[in-house]
Chains A and B, each alone.
Chain A
């Protein structure tokens, strides 16, 4: 075996501070460590505050998925209070959440993932010139169109929530703001305009045609069916990634998790096999099992926290920072969430697999997940949401009156689990209340699942495992590591962001 060396790779374009350490031998990664480099302690900030304060504070956990945090926070209070949510309030919550997901999916794919196709490491790639024309930051045609089109989607959240950012319109029992009819019509038009662009530029075909793609062979046939599909963002992504040899990168453990999201209101025309449009579940070795939130634990053996050994359920969880340095093998400010004691990846691919999507079941069934399949799932997830989004807006528009709020009464004691799906995967808030105050609050984000460090048994987190075998052609520009990590859409959560002087806007070790 040749020389073994350690590379420390600060990762730019991740939401929050993330550092990847890999051990390289014979030009491939043989071990990996994922470190969240920043302590936040939002959970501790909430202790002893008023029961509803999480509705205002937790959306500030993240600047991109604040609606999702609001959703999780209110669902935890709904659960604790036994609130019954009127169907129209469910629709309004869902529509805002879907708008946030769709804009995040497209921005991540084009601005964070495919931008790497335009870096110098691919200068010799036959599609490099076109990649530069499409994805160069703030210059590329796809980059600019993505900015223009996704900007409008956020208007939907502003119209529904009454303000943007920091919409706090969801409350236990429903919502306290709704757009007027003109506002709803505007939401519907934004959705339809976006769908038109998405079909033309991202898919190159109608959503209905895309849904017909049900196998790996069908995907190949779709790719060559006509120039529109071949040159679409999906088509370009697949052709570039395959020619760059990205297929097979980033396999991982093969365990998948979804908390489920988007409750179906009573009497809706939207149909799904379960009570939620996005299905919940857990997959191990290809076998789907029902999701039970009681099986979630968090480990801290490799994290800078103290107070317990093994794993604790979030209702019992502790967040006691313990900055020990590298002693004792601790290396991350992220905890290690586990389901049934196992690491699990979460995100759009997991959602498709829970739903039994034939294309992604076939792709994963052939050789396991990889960075290309994972990113493809994100790029096409909007196609799976758009019909329901349009239908729920139509149903709101057709209503003579809408019911927004069922008062749950004063919320003083009890506990609740607020589970949903963020753009990046499973998000949970667990709250315990006593005397009208927050006694305990635990948040597990999607990236905590995907970026988790080793657990009490020494088992790697999902993307630590996925990095094994990744080729490092140029240690100074390990672009393949970036492809693997970004296929999970990392978000180590936003915190300090400031206008910086000089040229150092981020620790851009990965060449841009």
Chain B
């Protein structure tokens, strides 16, 4: 049985690992950008369009109930249709590994479970500006993921995204909270005016 061969000039295989016995690999998704951000929508502004993309980074662990809010929102958004130039990414636990996804992004919307920032079951929109570059009380390691990431951005990136927001879901996260977070993300990427935005403070 012949193996799969490819010439580098053409991209025969793309993301995903499903194969069949002939070695053929279905091209199931649009091509990714440098870090493979999945573009859900008709366009790919990052790849050559006139405007920088909006990236929705959904953080958390899909295997841990207390931490899967971001993944639940990702799953819902990835199944739907987003406006051109909007990318949604299952950011998982990558922490500092996500720095590259802030590069050349016009706007970044983080989605994550919160703890102690609001009432249980609440979905809250935060403006991350205050947390950018903040070093006090943050450390690199397991518990310091998002605070460290936001703290590092000004020092590491040549150009910051124009806006960094956090859609925070305070556990327990039920179906209604996920729906609300999805609606909030869609409203944000469609440019709807959102008034209830709080500063994110550690």
Asked if A505 and B32 make an inter-chain contact with CB atoms under 8 angstroms apart, the answer reads no
In the complex, identify which listed stretch (A9-17, A308-316, A443-451) lies at the interface while the others stay far away.
A9-17
Q: Quick one: which of B83-140 are within 8 Å of A by CB? A: 90-100, 112-117, 133, 135, 137-140
In the complex, identify which listed stretch (B45-53, B149-157, B174-182, B183-191) lies at the interface while the others stay far away.
B149-157
Residues of chain B with a CB closer than 8 A to A502's CB: 116, 202
Q: Counting CB contacts under 8 A, is B16 at the interface?
A: yes
Q: Counting CB contacts under 8 A, is B159 at the interface?
A: no
Contacts known (A147-B96, A165-B94); A57 close to B63, Cβ less than 8 A: yes
Q: Give the residue of A55, A137, A402, A501 whose beta carbon is less than 8 angstroms from that of B6.
A: A402
Interface residues on B, range: 35 or more
Q: Counting CB contacts under 8 A, is B78 at the interface?
A: no
Asked if A63 and B93 make an inter-chain contact with CB atoms under 8 angstroms apart, the answer reads yes
Q: Give the residue of A166, A405, A498 whose beta carbon is less than 8 angstroms from that of B23.
A: A405
In the complex, identify which listed stretch (A175-183, A275-283, A345-353) lies at the interface while the others stay far away.
A175-183
Asked if B100 and A158 make an inter-chain contact with CB atoms under 8 angstroms apart, the answer reads yes
Q: Give the residue of A155, A177, A406, A503 whose beta carbon is less than 8 angstroms from that of B35.
A: A155
Asked if A144 and B35 make an inter-chain contact with CB atoms under 8 angstroms apart, the answer reads no
Residues of chain A with a CB closer than 8 A to B135's CB: 136-139
Residues of chain A with a CB closer than 8 A to B202's CB: 500-503, 505
- The majority secondary structure among interface residues of chain A is loop
* Assembly CA distance A439 to B100 (angstroms): 39
Asked if B35 and A181 make an inter-chain contact with CB atoms under 8 angstroms apart, the answer reads no
In the complex, identify which listed stretch (A256-264, A331-339, A489-497) lies at the interface while the others stay far away.
A489-497
Asked if A144 and B140 make an inter-chain contact with CB atoms under 8 angstroms apart, the answer reads no
Asked if A165 and B155 make an inter-chain contact with CB atoms under 8 angstroms apart, the answer reads no
Asked if A55 and B95 make an inter-chain contact with CB atoms under 8 angstroms apart, the answer reads no
Q: Give the residue of A63, A179, A186 whose beta carbon is less than 8 angstroms from that of B97.
A: A63
Interface residues on A, range: 35 or more
Q: Quick one: which of B45-82 are within 8 Å of A by CB? A: 60-64, 66-67
B173 CB to nearest chain A CB (Å): 11
Asked if A169 and B15 make an inter-chain contact with CB atoms under 8 angstroms apart, the answer reads yes
- Among B4, B34, B114, B151, chain A packs the most CB atoms within 10 A around the CB of B4
Q: Give the residue of B6, B36, B141 whose beta carbon is less than 8 angstroms from that of A15.
A: B141
Asked if B67 and A496 make an inter-chain contact with CB atoms under 8 angstroms apart, the answer reads yes
Asked if B5 and A158 make an inter-chain contact with CB atoms under 8 angstroms apart, the answer reads no
* Assembly CA distance A147 to B8 (angstroms): 31
Q: Counting CB contacts under 8 A, is B144 at the interface?
A: yes
* Assembly CA distance A503 to B96 (angstroms): 20
Q: What residue in chain B is nearest A497 (Cβ atoms)?
A: B145
Q: Give the residue of B25, B90, B112 whose beta carbon is less than 8 angstroms from that of A499.
A: B112
Residues of chain B with a CB closer than 8 A to A400's CB: 7
Residues of chain A with a CB closer than 8 A to B152's CB: 138, 147
Q: Give the residue of B13, B35, B113, B139 whose beta carbon is less than 8 angstroms from that of A512.
A: B139
In the complex, identify which listed stretch (A107-115, A285-293, A469-477) lies at the interface while the others stay far away.
A107-115
Contacts known (A165-B91, A174-B3, A503-B202); A497 close to B142, Cβ less than 8 A: yes
Asked if A176 and B25 make an inter-chain contact with CB atoms under 8 angstroms apart, the answer reads yes
* Assembly CA distance A154 to B139 (angstroms): 21
Residues of chain B with a CB closer than 8 A to A402's CB: 5-6, 8
Q: What residue in chain B is nearest A402 (Cβ atoms)?
A: B6
B63 CB to nearest chain A CB (Å): 6
Asked if B13 and A107 make an inter-chain contact with CB atoms under 8 angstroms apart, the answer reads no
* Assembly CA distance A55 to B17 (angstroms): 9
Q: Counting CB contacts under 8 A, is A506 at the interface?
A: yes
Q: What residue in chain B is nearest A400 (Cβ atoms)?
A: B7
Q: What residue in chain B is nearest A144 (Cβ atoms)?
A: B155
A165 CB to nearest chain B CB (Å): 4
Asked if A176 and B16 make an inter-chain contact with CB atoms under 8 angstroms apart, the answer reads yes
Q: Counting CB contacts under 8 A, is B143 at the interface?
A: yes
Asked if B5 and A107 make an inter-chain contact with CB atoms under 8 angstroms apart, the answer reads no
Contacts known (A12-B141, A497-B145, A498-B115); A406 close to B15, Cβ less than 8 A: no
Q: Counting CB contacts under 8 A, is B1 at the interface?
A: yes
Contacts known (A138-B133, A497-B60); A167 close to B93, Cβ less than 8 A: no
Q: Give the residue of B19, B98, B113 whose beta carbon is less than 8 angstroms from that of A498.
A: B113
Q: Quick one: which of A141-179 are within 8 Å of B by CB? A: 144, 147-148, 150-152, 154-155, 158-159, 161-171, 173-174, 176-179
Asked if A506 and B112 make an inter-chain contact with CB atoms under 8 angstroms apart, the answer reads no
Q: 1/0 per residue A79-107: CB within 8 Å of B?
A: 00000001000000000000000000001
Asked if B63 and A163 make an inter-chain contact with CB atoms under 8 angstroms apart, the answer reads no
B20 CB to nearest chain A CB (Å): 8
Q: Give the residue of A13, A165, A179 whose beta carbon is less than 8 angstroms from that of B139.
A: A13
Q: Counting CB contacts under 8 A, is B166 at the interface?
A: yes
* Assembly CA distance A355 to B9 (angstroms): 39
Q: What residue in chain A is nearest B10 (Cβ atoms)?
A: A180
Q: Counting CB contacts under 8 A, is A193 at the interface?
A: no
Q: Counting CB contacts under 8 A, is A133 at the interface?
A: no
Q: Counting CB contacts under 8 A, is A42 at the interface?
A: yes
Asked if A184 and B14 make an inter-chain contact with CB atoms under 8 angstroms apart, the answer reads no
Contacts known (A165-B94, A402-B8); A407 close to B19, Cβ less than 8 A: yes
Q: Counting CB contacts under 8 A, is B21 at the interface?
A: yes
Q: 1/0 per residue A418-434: CB within 8 Å of B?
A: 00000000000000000
Residues of chain A with a CB closer than 8 A to B38's CB: 163
Contacts known (A154-B97, A402-B8, A407-B21); A501 close to B36, Cβ less than 8 A: no
Mark A residues whose CB is within 8 Å of B: 12-17, 42, 45, 52, 55-57, 60, 62-64, 66, 86, 107, 111-112, 115, 136-139, 144, 147-148, 150-152, 154-155, 158-159, 161-171, 173-174, 176-181, 184, 186, 399-407, 409-410, 492, 494-503, 505-508, 512
6 example contacts (A-B, Cβ-Cβ < 8 A) are as follows A12-B139, A13-B139, A14-B142, A147-B152, A180-B11, A498-B115
A-B contact sample (17 more), CB < 8 A, given A63-B94, A498-B67: A56-B17, A115-B139, A138-B138, A154-B97, A155-B100, A165-B90, A165-B91, A165-B92, A165-B97, A171-B19, A178-B8, A399-B8, A406-B23, A496-B66, A497-B142, A500-B143, A502-B202
The 9 closest A-B pairs by CB, nearest first: A163-B36, A63-B93, A501-B116, A506-B143, A13-B141, A162-B15, A405-B4, A158-B35, A138-B135
